[in-house]
Chains A and B, each alone.
Chain A
C-alpha cells in the first residue's frame, strides 16, 4: 500500500498544448480518490501520467517513497482498468486474469490457481472459461477488476470505470466498487466526468479545469463549499443558483430583486457596495406560497418532476431565474407566485469567482443536521433520470 505524491507535475504535448499545469497533490494511503472535471480538463492525462503511459514534462510522481517519474508503467507496481476494460478478446477470462502473473513469470499452476481464486472472489467463478465477448458489461468490468487485483498492486487506477455500463448497472457497480475498494484498502485513483459518481464513491476528490486543480476535498466539502463558481456550477445534480448581487449596508445582500441576509460564512468579510455572486443550491431554498421575510419572489415558469420532489424554476422580479427543489407538500403550478427562502448557513458568496470565506473554515466545523452529500445528489447532468431525494 502506498500514497501517491505529485510534485509540480506538468505535461506539455508536442505542439505546445499544456495539459497539466504544475500540479501538487497527495493521494493518501488507502484512499479512494476521484479526479473530476469536464472533458478536456486533463484528468485522463493526469491519470495516464501517474500510470506512466504519458511521460511527465516536469515535476515528479512518487508512489510510496519511490520516485517513479522515470520508470516504465510495468515497473511502477500499479494496475489500471481502462474505460473499455481492454480485456484481450482471444483469451478466456481465466487467461486474462492470469496474464499479469504470466508477464511476471509466475508458474503456470500457481497463476491458474490465483486467477481462479480472484475470479471466485468477484463472483466470476462459473465464467472463467468464457471469452470476454460472451460476458455482459458488468461481468466484463469485474473481469477487468479481477485482472487488476490478481497482481496485488500498490495502486489502482480506473479510467472512467462506470461509463461503459447502462444506467441501472452503473448504480450497482458504484456500490460494488466502493465496497471492494474498502475491503482491499488499496490506494485508488479514478477519473470521471460525472460529479454524482465522484461524490458517491470517493473519499476525497479533485475538481479539475484546464489542466489545473480547482478544489481538492471530501465530497461534503466540495458539495457544500465549492471554492469557486466553476466548482459550484459543476458539482451537484441540479446546478447551484449563482446570481449577481450587491452587498447593501446593514449586513444584507440585494439579489434578484429581494433583500437577503448576508450568508453566515461571509458575514464579516464584505463591505457595503461590493459586487458579489450569491450562491445557493436549489435543495437549500425553502419554498413558500405566501410572502416571506428574506426571500426572493417570482413567478413559476417550469415545474420538473424529480420523483419525490419537484424542481421549480422561478422567474424572479429582478429578471433572473432561480431553481428551487420543492417537496411533495407543495404543488406549485406554472404562473403561480412563489417565494424562495435560502438556508443562511448553506448560502455562499463569491467575489471574482472565488468563495468569500475565512481561511481554514472547513465544513467539518459547520456540520449541518441531517443531510450527507450523498443524499442530496442524484445522477449526472444528462445521462439518466433518477429521482433526486431532497
Chain B
C-alpha cells in the first residue's frame, strides 16, 4: 500500500456527492422528460417512460376546436401587450431618466410594489368590475390593458437603467443639429437601448403567455381563451385530466417561448446592466 491518505473514504465521498447531484437533477429533469415523452405516447400516464410511439395525440389536438385557436389568442394577447409595454415604458423610462423631479425614485418603487397587486389575485374583483363598467369584458383589449398596466412598472424600472447609461451628449449632439425630442428618441436613444427594449419585449411576451388569471377572469367566450386557459379545460368525460391532450398541448405551448428566447438571446444578448455602466 502506498503512503498517504486511504483512497476508499475519498471515493465514497465522491460517489455520495454525485448521487446527491443526480437526485437533484432528476427532480428537475423528470417533468421535462415527461413533457418530451408523453405527447408521443399512446397511453400517457403521470410517469415518464419510454413512449409507445404514436402521433395520434397531435391529430386529436388538431381536431379539438379550441386548441389551435387558443394559441392564436395567446399570440394576440402577448404581442399586443409587448408592443404597448415596450412603447409606453420606453417613453416613460426616457422621461424619468432625463427629467429631474422630486421623489422620482420613490415613485418608481411605489409603482413597482403596486404593480404586483394590479395583476394579482387581490385585485381580481375590482378589476372585473372596472372592466365591466368600461365594456372591456370579453375583449382582447381589456386583457391587454390590464396586463400592460401590471407589467409597466417593472418594464420602466428595467429600461430606466438602460436609459441612464446612454450618454446625454448623444442627445444634445442631435439636438444641436436640429432634431426634435421625439426624433432624438427615435434616431438615437432607441437604437442605443435596443438590447433593453428586446429584453423587455421578450419578458412581456413570456409573462403574458403564461398568465392564466386575467384572461380567465375577463374573457368569457371559449373561442377567445388563450392557451393557458384552454389547457385547463382538457378533461375526459369522466372528469379525469386528459393527459394525452394536456402533454401534447403543453409541448406546443412552450415551444414558441423557448424559440423566442433562443432567437433574441442570439440576436441581442440579454444584458441586465444592474447599474453598471456598459
Contacts and interface: CB of A to CB of B under 8 A. Distances in A.
A83 B169 contact: yes
Contacts of A104: 177-178
Per DSSP, are chain B's interface residues mostly helix, strand or loop, or mixed? helix
B177 A53 contact: no
A74 interface: yes
B175 interface: yes
A73 B173 CA distance: 10
A154 to B, nearest CB: 13
A201 interface: no
A88 interface: yes
A82 interface: yes
Interface string A76-116: 00111011101011110000000110011000000000000
Nearest to B180: A74
B36 to A, nearest CB: 40
Interface in B140-168: 167
A83 B172 CA distance: 12
Interface range on chain A (Cβ under 8 Å from partner)? 20 to 34
Nearest to A150: B177
Contacts, number: 59
A75 B172 CA distance: 14
B192 interface: yes
B82 to A, nearest CB: 22
B35 interface: no
Interface residues of B, number: 17
A151 interface: yes
Nearest to B166: A89
A51 interface: yes
Given A88-B188, A90-B191, A53 B172 contact: yes
Given A88-B191, A90-B191, A103-B183, A73 B176 contact: yes
Contact of B192 (A72, A89, A99, A103): A89
A86 B191 contact: no
Given A74-B175, A104-B178, 9 more contacts: A72-B178, A73-B175, A78-B176, A82-B172, A86-B173, A88-B173, A89-B192, A103-B179, A103-B183
27 contacts: A51-B176, A52-B176, A53-B172, A53-B175, A53-B176, A73-B172, A74-B178, A75-B178, A80-B172, A80-B173, A82-B172, A84-B169, A86-B167, A86-B172, A88-B170, A88-B188, A88-B192, A89-B192, A90-B191, A90-B192, A99-B174, A99-B177, A99-B187, A100-B178, A103-B174, A103-B177, A104-B177
- Which 7 A/B pairs are nearest by Cβ-Cβ distance? A74-B178, A86-B173, A86-B169, A100-B177, A90-B191, A82-B169, A73-B176
